[in-house]
Every structure is written in structure tokens, then in C-alpha cells.
A = this chain, B = another copy of it.
Amino acid sequence: MNTRESAIDALLLQREIETFYYVEAELLDERRFEEWLDLLTDDIVYFMPLRRNVKFGSQDEAENSVEGVDAAWFDEGKHTLTQRVAQIKTGIHWAEEPLSRVRHLVTNVQVTDAGPGIAGARELGVKSRFLVYRNRVDDETDIFVGQRADRLRKVDGAWKVARRVILLDQSTLLAKNLTFFF
């Protein structure tokens, strides 16, 4: 296939992935959490490290807490994510009752790698950036900004998130809780 055709393949893939993220955001913000869970593989790794202020030159080893070893904001799999959804659905999870108004703005979607190739890709590396706006009750307002580095896998013809590493651009968390999803 000539380069123009493969460039078009890349376009189609990019669009497919952007759509995936827009649909995901919609499910989250419309609180269709069970449908959102369906977008995750059963073996998903959902990790959000702590961030630290460290001396110049030591960022690589010390800026973020280590997956699987250190404390983190989130380091879990589908089971726990499913429990979070179930808890909200009880209607007595006070931190989310009444429900927050949450909005996910997704930008800078970058497909970083595709296997085995762009055409007929079955696994992708994708980076994207988010601004999550959360407003609740009277005037509680939080703005979260950061990056998601995902592994997407094609399962039964549909893309699913197999791994998500969330980098929140805060060291001390500037919110009382994290009762929603990134």
C-alpha cells in the first residue's frame, strides 16, 4: 500500500481512537459507569502515582511513586473499579451523594505505537491529556489536569483499555477526595 494510503490508515485509526475517548468521557460524565467498565479489559492496570518535589537531576528516579511498590492515589484493577461503581450506585455513598457534576475534556490524543501495524492494529499505545472539572452541591469546584498513558487492546473487535497510567499534575492533592474516574 502506498504512503498516501497508509497515511489515510493512520487518519482513520486516529479518528477511531479519538472517538473511543470521547465516548468514554460521555459514559463517565453521564454516569453510565457500568457501560464505562465494559471499556476496560478484565486485567486492566489502573495506576495513578504520587508526585514529589525533588532536586534537579533526580526526577527520573524520585519524582513519581513506583507502580506495584509505593503508595499511590490509585493502583488497582477492574475488581476494585467495579466496586467503586457499585458504591456510587448504592445512593448512600455520601461523598458522591448528591452526585458531582463531572466533565472530562480530552485533548492531545497521540497514538505512540501500534502493533502489529497501523492497519489491523490489535494493540496501541496512546497518550492523551485531560482536564477534569468537578463541581458539586453549592460551590465545591475542583480542576484536575494531567496526562493519561494508555495501552489499548482490541477485544472482540472493540478497543478496550488494558492499562492506564494517570499523571496528575499535583504533589499535594488539592481536593478532599477522588470519588470519580480519570
Contact = CB atoms under 8 A, between A and B. Distances in A.
Interface of A: 4, 7-8, 10-12, 14-15, 19, 21-23, 25-26, 29, 31, 51, 53-57, 59, 91-92, 97-99, 101-110, 127, 129, 131, 133, 135-139, 141, 143, 145-147, 169-172, 174
B91 A171 contact: no
Contact of A143 (B53, B97, B143): B143
Contacts of A4: 12
Given A107-B106, A145-B103, A133 B171 contact: no
Given A19-B110, A135-B170, A59 B145 contact: no
Contacts of A135: 145, 169-171, 174
A138 B55 contact: no
Chain A at the B interface: SS class: mixed
Nearest to A23: B110
Contacts of A143: 143
Contacts of A131: 105, 131, 133, 145
A57 to B, nearest CB: 6
Contacts of A139: 172, 174
Contacts of A23: 110
30 contacts: A8-B8, A8-B12, A11-B11, A14-B15, A19-B110, A22-B110, A29-B147, A31-B59, A51-B101, A53-B137, A54-B98, A55-B97, A56-B91, A56-B92, A56-B98, A57-B91, A101-B170, A103-B129, A103-B169, A104-B108, A105-B145, A131-B131, A131-B133, A133-B169, A135-B145, A135-B171, A135-B174, A139-B172, A141-B170, A141-B174
